[in-house]
Copies of this chain bind each other. A is one copy, B any other.
Amino acid sequence: MAAPSRSTCNVTERSFRERVPPLLTDLYQFTMAYAYWRAGRHQEHAVFEIFFRDNPFDGGFSLLAGLDDCLLFLRSFRFTEEDVEFLRSVLPPATDPAFFQFLRDLDCSGVTLRCIPEGTVVFARVPLMEVAGPLAVVQLLETSLLCLVNYASLVCSNAARFRLAAGPRRKLLEMGLRRAQGPDGGLTASRYTYIGGFDFTSNVQAGFLFGIPVAGTMAHSYITSFTSLEEVRPQTVVAANGDLVDFISLTKGWLSRVCELLGAESGKVREGELAAFLSYAIAYPQNFLPVIDSYSVSCSGLLNFCAVALALCELGYKPVGVRLDSGDLCRQSVDVRCVFRCCSEHFSIPAFGSLIIVGTNNISEQSMAELSWKENEIDVVGVGTHLVTCTKQPSLGCVYKLVEVRGRPRMKISEDPEKSTVPGRKAVYRLLDAEGHPFLDLVSLAMETPPEAGVPLSCYPLGCDNSAVSVTPAQVISLCQEMFVKGQVTQPLCSAAETRAKVQSSLQTLHPRHKRLQEPDSYTVALSDRLQNLVAEIQRGSSDDSNCVLAN
């Protein structure tokens, strides 16, 4: 396991335009943009906001991620001549050719983005990101921004839940590349699971691009590629003191002693497996961590491991540990630890007291949580499929809703109240109690005076039948920051490690009752009095307004 030594942010930026071109969006964004343009409305100042309606995984919170990619996307947003020609071929023939010239000249120099910072704990129905600018442009951005935020936030939140289930000390390895939605799905998963609290990834490219520590030693195929000790070449290893030693003989000696100590039948020990372990240890005497369940842990893999590891110790090296990849990981880890302790004591090898046990076998959030109450000796857990595909809920329903046009608030009033939106440009304040725990997110109109610490305020919690409550915050944090103005990113982008640290500190302040994985207490999100009044006013007004369609 090793961490890369340098940052490679430039690589990310260089390929960004190619990875997320402005055509990576839904066709209807272009047909709408054309209709706006045709009506001369394309330059009208409009504001959209992004939010989701339910916290993922039946949990009490989510993490916000993907923002940095959104900023890079906005910065690189520009159509190539090829893009425009393609659009010409797919838009209806009636499209005015001047529209394509408009597209050619388009960029995000008129767009402003305000956002809750990457890696912050967020809640359902809170506006996460506000995108303001010319109507046609901010409409075109919808799908790409949602695509960048949705999965990043989901998988980051999923990783945070695995981290909460695992407790703070166990090391977590992400290894889902082969089960993700293609190459970039895997890369996004590696990046945001690290940010969400994992320690390592198996994905080398993620290490290269994002500076995430990478880890891994061997698969079963490595073991099964060996059949006999004759395949071990060289058969010698240089000891820590420089002596050249016949490693096979040395190990065979240890194997006899281990079998005798443990009362194991040496006849069941697999020669191919021993050959594989020997070869690996000769290649990497300081990094010996084999997978030991290719045949049978107790009858072969564990014995072979102990023999090779004891030989390494005799030569002055420190073996690292073992990986278990099938069966009942908890029970096996206890048995394995027991053998390690036995060898450590019997042969007086202290290094055997600190060997690590890695467990990897289709780990789910449920099985991760079991590790906190089932007896086990697992130090590092590798998680793939359930982590990257978010089996428990494979998508986060972030939406992008219009809240203002030409300075006038806009609201979608649906027959389905869940689908109605909250109008107007907003500010979001996180109210903290005397212990420093957030207890309420206040969504107010942007123009309102911010709430003050120690001053009572009245507000309307969402989902509570429109009744007001009065609260007094001990502390108030303004959540949204301006991140992109006039074509420029105005905040420094953070490295994955920096955002990861922010995630942990943001989670730290959250009260345990909101962090509980099962049936958490729901966190309160409330509208300010004025915002609540605006909603009521528009709802009333709308029923009046609509009478006039056929009046004149």
> Which A residues have a C-beta under 8 Å from some C-beta of B?
2-6, 8, 11, 15, 18-21, 23-32, 34-36, 38-41, 46, 48, 82-83, 86-87, 89-92, 94-95, 135, 139, 142-144, 146-148, 150-152, 155, 175, 177-189, 202-205, 207-208, 214-222, 224-225, 227, 229, 231-234, 252, 255-256, 259, 266-271, 274, 279-280, 282-287, 293-296, 300, 326-327, 385, 388-391, 394-395, 397-398, 400-402, 405, 408, 410-416, 419, 421, 542, 545-550
Contacts and interface: CB of A to CB of B under 8 A. Distances in A.
Tell me how many chains of this kind the complex includes: 2
B151 A225 contact: no
A202 B546 contact: no
Contacts of A208: 23, 83, 86
Contacts of A221: 32, 48, 139, 142, 400-402
Contact of A326 (B216, B234, B395, B416): B416
Contacts of A547: 267
A185 B39 contact: no
A37 B2 CA distance: 20
Contacts of A3: 90
A193 to B, nearest CB: 12
Contact of A28 (B2, B219, B293): B219
A4 B389 CA distance: 32
Contact of A284 (B31, B391, B421): B31
A358 B8 CA distance: 46
A255 B90 contact: no
A245 B415 CA distance: 35
A49 to B, nearest CB: 11
A411 B545 CA distance: 75
B546 A267 contact: yes
Given A35-B280, A90-B207, 13 more contacts: A3-B90, A23-B204, A25-B205, A29-B219, A31-B280, A31-B284, A39-B232, A48-B221, A86-B204, A143-B177, A180-B185, A185-B185, A224-B410
A284 B4 contact: no
Contacts of A222: 32, 35-36, 139
A187 B24 CA distance: 8
Nearest to A1: B27
A179 B143 CA distance: 9
Given A24-B205, A143-B177, A268-B546, A19 B89 contact: no
A26 B402 CA distance: 42
A548 B415 contact: no
Contact of A402 (B41, B225, B229): B225
B402 A395 contact: no
B207 A405 contact: no
A148 B181 CA distance: 9
A4 B83 CA distance: 12
A395 B401 contact: no
A89 to B, nearest CB: 5
B31 A286 contact: no
A498 B220 CA distance: 38
Contacts of A256: 550
